Chains A and B, each alone.
Chain A
Amino acid sequence: MTTVEEKPAGTRLVSGPGMLLVWLYGVMVVGAVSRSAYQIATEFDRAPLAYSLSAVAGVVYGFITYSLVRGGETARRLALVCCAVELAGVLAVGTWTLVDPSAFPDATVWSKYGMGYVFVPVLLPLSAMYWLRRSRKQQPEAV
């Protein structure tokens, strides 16, 4: 396995629990992007806000996945920021869908804190942030 080789420079993020995170983020990318692409292409007028938010969620997920796979300190920091954005998005959209359901004729990925996805959308950024912070402590010398 060539991919197992440790890169001497930079923080390797795809190892151990990071592997599980990449997998889950990959699933969310496919889910959010394909769902919003289909809905925006076929029935955008029905719930433009919900579908746009799903698309944004897909882009954020995509970026985090890419950062995790790429590794390195810069990617780690960017991924951390994106996870915070993601968590804020889940909480904001989740609350929004509960307070004002009429704004959302159709569900988004983040509706009701991601209940339609077994709350994975709200649990994922928390565990990812925990993992990303720990990765730094393990390799404080990484540039």
Chain B
Amino acid sequence: MLDALTLVTGVAALLLAAWCGWAAHRDQPTKDWHFIGMAVVSVLALVQLVIGVVALARGEKPAQGTTIFVAYLLGAFACVPAAGLMSLTERTRWGSVTVAASGVVLAVLQVRLYDIWGG
């Protein structure tokens, strides 16, 4: 369950990165549709956080330690919303670049989460 969600979130994050990268390429700021995309990715990360915590509560143990696992879950959840807020204050292509960067960072975090959970 957690592995599948990690994969989906990672792919969604990369799609978001490509989408916002495209907006930046066309010299556009983030628009409403981009924010809906960010919301979708953020919800995926939130679901992942909840499922991860539930798995921990049921006594499952991440291969590389509980503290690191929770820290990465929180980081993954905060990643895209933080960049989204920053892109609200930066209404140029650079706001789009920032969100694109957050998508890439989130994808990297998902790879790490996969390792931390499964070894």
Contacts and interface: CB of A to CB of B under 8 A. Distances in A.
Are A and B interaction partners?
yes
Interface of A: 1, 3-4, 14-20, 22-24, 26-27, 30, 34, 38, 42, 118
A118 B107 CA distance: 13
B67 A38 contact: yes
Given A30-B75, A38-B71, A4 B91 contact: yes
B102 interface: yes
Task: Provide the main secondary structure of the chain B interface.
Answer: helix
A103 B22 CA distance: 44
B53 interface: no
Contacts of A24: 101
A9 to B, nearest CB: 20
B46 interface: no
Nearest to A41: B67
A15 B94 CA distance: 8
B95 interface: yes
A53 B112 CA distance: 22
B42 to A, nearest CB: 16
Contacts of A26: 82
A18 B95 CA distance: 10
